[in-house]
Amino acid sequence: MLKRDILKNVGSSWFSLGINVVLGFFIYPFILHSLGDAASGIWVLIFSVTGYYGIFDLGIRSSVIRYIAKYTAVQDKEGLAKFFNTILAAYTCIALATVVVTLALSFFVGSIFHIQPNFLHTAKLLFLMVGLSVALGFPLGIFAGILEGLQRFYLLNFTNVGGLLVRAALTVLALRHGYGLLTVGLITVLLPLLVSMLRAILVIRILPIPVSPKYLDRSVFKEMSNYSGTTFVIQMAYQLRFKTDAMVIGSFLNSSAITTFSIGGRLVDYAGQVVGSMAQIFVPMASQSDAKGDMGKLRKLFVAGNRACGLIIFPVSLILAILGKTVIEAWVGAKYVAASYPIMLILLIPTTLVLAQGASPRILFGMARHRTLAWITSMEGIANLILSIALVQRLGVIGDAIGTAIPLSFTAIYFTPRFLARELEMKQATFLREAYTLPILLCLPMTAALLALREWLPVHHLLPLLGEILLSMSVYGAGLFWAVRTGHVYKVGELVVNPELEAENTDLAETLHEA
Whole-number Å distance between alpha carbons of 173 and 165: 12
How far apart are the C-alpha atoms of 342 and 398, rounded to whole Å?
7
Q: In angstroms, how far is the first alpha carbon of the chain from the final one?
A: 43
**What pLDDT sits at residue 112?**
63
**Spatial contact of 372 and 326, defined as CB atoms under 8 Å apart:** no
The Cα 386–Cα 407 span in angstroms is: 11
Q: pLDDT at residue 504 above 70?
A: no
Query: Is 184 or 315 the better-scoring residue by pLDDT?
Result: 315
Rg of the chain over Cα atoms, rounded to whole angstroms, equals 23
Residue 334 to residue 225: CA distance in whole angstroms: 50
Cα separation of 92 and 98, whole Å?
10
Per-residue pLDDT tens for 398-425? 998 899 899 989 888 888 888 888 888 8
Distance (Å, whole) CA 286 – CA 362: 8
CA 237: distance to chain centroid? 13
Confidence of residue 10 (pLDDT cuts 50, 70, 90): low
- What residue spans of 280-427 are helical by DSSP H? 282-291, 295-332, 337-355, 359-367, 371-395, 397-410, 416-423
Spatial contact of 63 and 228, defined as CB atoms under 8 Å apart: yes
Of 241, 275, 236, nearest in space to 401 by CA: 241
Say yes or no to pLDDT of 436 above 90: yes
Q: Are the CB atoms for 168 and 23 separated by under 8 Å?
A: yes
List Cα–Cα distances, 174 to 20, 90, 123, in angstroms. Answer: 19, 37, 18
**Quick one: pLDDT band at residue 316, thresholds 50, 70, 90?**
very high
Comparison of pLDDT for 266 and 238, the residue scoring more: 266
The pLDDT, as a whole number, for residue 341 is 93
Alpha-helix residue ranges (DSSP H) falling in 141-254? 142-149, 153-176, 181-206, 218-242, 244-252
Residue 426 bridge partners (DSSP): 497
Q: Within 10 A of 497 (CB to CB), how many other CB atoms are there?
A: 16
% of the chain with per-residue pLDDT over 70? 83
Average pLDDT of the chain is: 79
- State the amino acid at position 162 in one-letter form: G
- pLDDT, average across residues 93-114: 77
Q: What is the mean pLDDT of residues 336-364?
A: 90
Q: Which of 57-71, 146-160, 288-302 has the lowest mean pLDDT?
A: 57-71
- Bridge-partner residues for 497, per DSSP? 426
Give me the mean pLDDT over the 303-316 stretch.
90
Question: 14 and 273 in contact (C-beta within 8 Å)?
Answer: no
Closest CA to 201 of 281, 284, 144: 144
Q: Looking at residues 440-460, what average pLDDT do you find?
A: 92
CA within 13 Å, CB half, 347: 30
Q: How many CB atoms lie within 10 A of CB 403?
A: 25
Contact indicator for 476, 446 with CB cutoff of 8 Å: yes
Report which residue type is found at 83: F
Interatomic CA distance for residues 107 and 131, integer angstroms? 13
DSSP 265-297: HHHHHHHHHHHHHHHTTHHHHHHHHHHTT-HHH
Q: How far apart are CA 314 and CA 64, in angstroms?
A: 32
